[in-house]
Chains A and B, each alone.
Chain A
């Protein structure tokens, strides 16, 4: 049956009264035991060095992507890896001022020390860009020196690594560039050789040329036909014309003129009367000319009109035309055959071109590709060069000591004073706690009211403890004794604390 809340103090006091000596013993034992534990608890000193991860830089946005800054996704675990690497820890182990004058020579001992270091060194994340390295040791001096050295080594190690990394990247790209350059030159020479061997030109050129030739050929053929027809017609005309003509009349100019004027007069007469002034004039002119003619005839009356046999000019003209036409025909024929020859050549050329087309396109493509890659690599190499220079000059991702290690003056963890403070309390609380637990879990009947409530059995009275005067006196004496003894325990406790504070213990 649990004890009701209101009667817990009463019951508690009752329990304490019942077990006075046990309570005293528990109190003394627990207090002194806590104190004892506090006395022997080892003091540890811890030194911390905080490191700042600096990856924001004004240079980076200025270069806007042409320089690549190291992006380590989990920087802190990477830092931890680096810190725990054999190389760094070996440097620590080698320090004589940490481990004493004697050198640690055997490999086994070194390994042991390194493993101890690995166990004790703690890396703690302190924010997105800070972490701290903590080393604890019994001696504050060792703790301080090791932490200091760790910080320094870490920074130098990380810098060296960074530099090496970007240098490696640069040399790699450089090598690649060279390789590709070689390739490019190769393909270039191949292409050149090919081109020089087959300089027929492109397919398009050949095509246009062929078209041209064909057109010319057709024109020539057409012309030939034309000329032939012309020749035939000229010959036909020629046959209808006399070769020679006899000249009957003098071709006196005056006579010709008179004829002309007469023709004119006849024409006019058609339209007008003879009284038309123009016609009159013309008649006058004719008469004048006739007179002159008569005079002339009288002078040269003796000469007989000669009848000349001359070549017909028409016939001459036609003849010359025929000749020229024949020449033209010949020329055209020669032209046609030349053109045909050229066309044939051109066809051959076209075939050659087509057969070389595949090879040519492959070589061209090769060349273009190599060129493209080479250009890209050139760009990248320049980027790597800039990054390398950035790293050399200390820009980009870097680690800096944010908070240098301080010599530890105060030990960490549990200290004697904490034990001293809680010892007495613990001693007091333990028995009380135990009794409370007892009251809670012991199911013996303690309260009449509860018994009635739970079972319905009528509780007629609750009789307290009846002690005789002797018992009462004895009890009082015991209580006093216990009280004095507990004071003694407290005094002893305080004495031990005082001794410890003075440094005696």
Chain B
């Protein structure tokens, strides 16, 4: 199911906000707007009370055609607020907080990867996105870039018609057609799409860059998470990091040595490296 604009009103408002954005920013001093890829958070806009209201309304009206139940969450290993075991929930919340600290409250794009296969990257990415989505003032978007072995749509019981690869190949496809609701409130997902043999060329293409850029521009309140394959598997993670703001490394418990961790960390740009999560 692709997202249809809920009503004309919403669509229009999104456009208005974009224009407003441009006006406000031209008034503001240049230094306020950071160089680089960060889109200023919607909350940071100057007076912005009306805008906030609009955005929150927007968010609250995000359509969820299907909602996952608590049992589903337990089955699928996804955190949910009413969980009895609050330990994991709190871990992810902490992770969320720390990431927000690093980004200073701004929206960001984050690549989640790991040194070796089977570290639970998808698990961490999904739950992290869910943690962000738990906050009613934030929305999250999870992109499955694990082209060889995509699992996200499986976990969330999605049967996507078009995914990322389709979008990247087909110039005509609209962004909206690849964004699917996940069943978790305020979380959207871009599935990987049909499998491809040699996926490495996809992420270096201009289309991908454009895709990310458009996403950010269009949904400025969204936090974007990319579930990347492991460094061992392919160089996609490194390529993707260049297009994104931060990267997070998932380390499986008692499976990698310190040296491996250090060499993995070295591959990334120091400024973009947010930290490490030990999973297991």
Residues of A near any B CB (own CB < 8 A): 1, 442-446, 448, 451, 454-455, 457-466, 468-470
- Cα A459 to Cα B254 with chains together (Å): 15
Which one of B15-23, B34-42, B135-143, B272-280 is at the A interface? Answer: B272-280
B253 at the interface (CB under 8 A from A): yes
A445 touches B253 (CB 8 A): yes
A457 touches B280 (CB 8 A): no
Which partner residue on chain A sits nearest B255 by CB separation? Answer: A444
B261 touches A462 (CB 8 A): no
The minimal Cβ–Cβ distance linking B274 to chain A, given in whole angstroms, is 7
Q: Which residues of B contact A470 (CB under 8 A)?
A: 75
Q: A451-B258, A466-B77, A469-B75 are in contact. Are A459 and B253 (CB under 8 A)?
A: no
Q: Name A464's contact: one of B91, B98, B256 (CB within 8 Å).
A: B91
A460 touches B255 (CB 8 A): no
B258, B274, B278: residue with the most chain A Cβ atoms closer than 10 Å: B278
The minimal Cβ–Cβ distance linking B102 to chain A, given in whole angstroms, is 8
A461 touches B91 (CB 8 A): yes
A458 touches B276 (CB 8 A): yes
- Cα A460 to Cα B91 with chains together (Å): 9
Number of chain B residues close to chain A: CB under 8 A = 34
B257 touches A445 (CB 8 A): yes
Residues of B near any A CB (own CB < 8 A): 74-77, 87-88, 91-92, 94-95, 98-99, 120, 123-124, 127, 248, 251, 253-258, 261-262, 265, 274-280
A455, A463, A466: residue with the most chain B Cβ atoms closer than 10 Å: A463
B275 touches A459 (CB 8 A): yes
Q: A468-B77, A469-B75, A470-B75 are in contact. Are A460 and B248 (CB under 8 A)?
A: yes
A451 touches B278 (CB 8 A): yes
Q: Which residues of A contact B88 (CB under 8 A)?
A: 463-464, 466
Q: Which residues of A contact B124 (CB under 8 A)?
A: 463
B98 touches A461 (CB 8 A): yes
Q: Name A445's contact: one of B95, B127, B251 (CB within 8 Å).
A: B251
- Cα A411 to Cα B274 with chains together (Å): 70
A457 touches B123 (CB 8 A): no
Q: Which residues of B contact A451 (CB under 8 A)?
A: 251, 258, 261, 276, 278
The minimal Cβ–Cβ distance linking B272 to chain A, given in whole angstroms, is 13
Q: Which residues of A contact B99 (CB under 8 A)?
A: 460
B274 touches A443 (CB 8 A): no
A460 touches B265 (CB 8 A): no
The minimal Cβ–Cβ distance linking A347 to chain B, given in whole angstroms, is 125
Which partner residue on chain B sits nearest A446 by CB separation? Answer: B254
Q: Which residues of B contact A460 (CB under 8 A)?
A: 94-95, 98-99, 248, 274-277
- 11 CB contacts below 8 A, A to B, read A444-B255, A445-B254, A445-B256, A445-B278, A448-B276, A460-B99, A460-B248, A461-B98, A462-B278, A466-B123, A468-B75
The minimal Cβ–Cβ distance linking A87 to chain B, given in whole angstroms, is 71
A448, A454, A462, A468: residue with the most chain B Cβ atoms closer than 10 Å: A462
- Cα A470 to Cα B76 with chains together (Å): 11
- Cα A464 to Cα B261 with chains together (Å): 19
By Cβ-Cβ distance, the 9 closest A-B pairs, closest first, are A460-B275, A458-B275, A461-B95, A462-B278, A444-B254, A463-B279, A460-B98, A466-B77, A461-B277
B123 touches A461 (CB 8 A): no
A457 touches B75 (CB 8 A): no
- Cα A451 to Cα B255 with chains together (Å): 14
Which partner residue on chain A sits nearest B253 by CB separation? Answer: A446
- Cα A446 to Cα B261 with chains together (Å): 12
A464 touches B87 (CB 8 A): yes
A455 touches B261 (CB 8 A): yes
B74 touches A469 (CB 8 A): yes
List 15 additional contacts besides A445-B256, A459-B277, A464-B87; criterion CB under 8 Å: A1-B257, A442-B254, A443-B258, A445-B254, A445-B261, A446-B253, A455-B261, A458-B276, A460-B94, A461-B277, A462-B91, A463-B88, A465-B280, A466-B77, A468-B74
B120, B124, B253, B277: residue with the most chain A Cβ atoms closer than 10 Å: B253
Q: A446-B254, A468-B74, A470-B75 are in contact. Are A463 and B277 (CB under 8 A)?
A: yes
The minimal Cβ–Cβ distance linking B257 to chain A, given in whole angstroms, is 5
The minimal Cβ–Cβ distance linking B253 to chain A, given in whole angstroms, is 6
Q: Which residues of B contact A461 (CB under 8 A)?
A: 91-92, 94-95, 98, 277-278
Q: Which residues of A contact B127 (CB under 8 A)?
A: 463
Q: Name B276's contact: one of A457, A465, A469 (CB within 8 Å).
A: A457
A457 touches B265 (CB 8 A): yes
- Cα A386 to Cα B241 with chains together (Å): 112
Q: Which residues of B contact A1 (CB under 8 A)?
A: 257-258
